[in-house]
Amino acid sequence: MSRVDDRQRQLIEEFAQIKTWEDRYKRVIAIGKELPSLPDEKKLEDYKVKGCQSQVWLLARLDEQNHIIFEADSDAMIVRGLVALLVKVYSGATPEEILNSAPTFIKEIGFEANLSPSRANGLLSMIRQMMYYATAFKAILANRA
């Protein structure tokens, strides 16, 4: 089991303990508050996730072990929580781990059915952007070899 799959399983177990959607949303917001804020100099148009109604910035870099480190921020509390969940799952993983692990936790937690259509679209846009970064870093690493 990859790190990403393990992290997804942990989130599924955590949210399974939370019975109401109101409490699940509160937990998502709390997770978002734990996400470090991006400094203004990183809140550039280039890092904005297209397809989100709220503003979402997503940056990625490779560390020395060739793991992708994601940084993110949003101006909306629930969306900030959602992007924080994605950072929790995918940051610190290799491009392969990210590309080989579908974000199943979203459906299993129930976000697919319980988010508004615009938030669900935004969440998919954030995932798509993370997969794009993983694909690009995989290509960069392949060219280095």
What is the helix (H) or strand (E) element at residue 87, kind and residue range?
helix 77-90
Give residues with Cβ within 8 angstroms of 71, minimum separation 6: 36, 38, 42, 58, 59, 60, 87
pLDDT digit string (tens) for the chain, length 145 residues? 688 999 999 999 999 999 999 999 999 999 999 999 999 999 999 999 998 789 999 999 999 999 999 999 999 999 999 999 999 999 999 999 999 999 999 999 988 888 888 888 899 999 999 999 999 999 999 998 7
pTM flag (> 0.85): yes
Question: Could you tell me the residue range of the domain that residue 98 belongs to?
Answer: 3-144
| 104 carries an active-site annotation | no
**How far is Cα 62 from Cα 93, in angstroms, rounded to an integer?**
10
CATH number at residue 53: 3.90.1010.10
Give residues with Cβ within 8 angstroms of 126, minimum separation 6: 49, 52, 56, 58, 72, 82, 83, 86
Identify the active-site residue in 4, 31, 49, 52.
52
How many domains is the chain partitioned into structurally? 1
Phi, psi of 69 (to 5 degrees): -110, 120
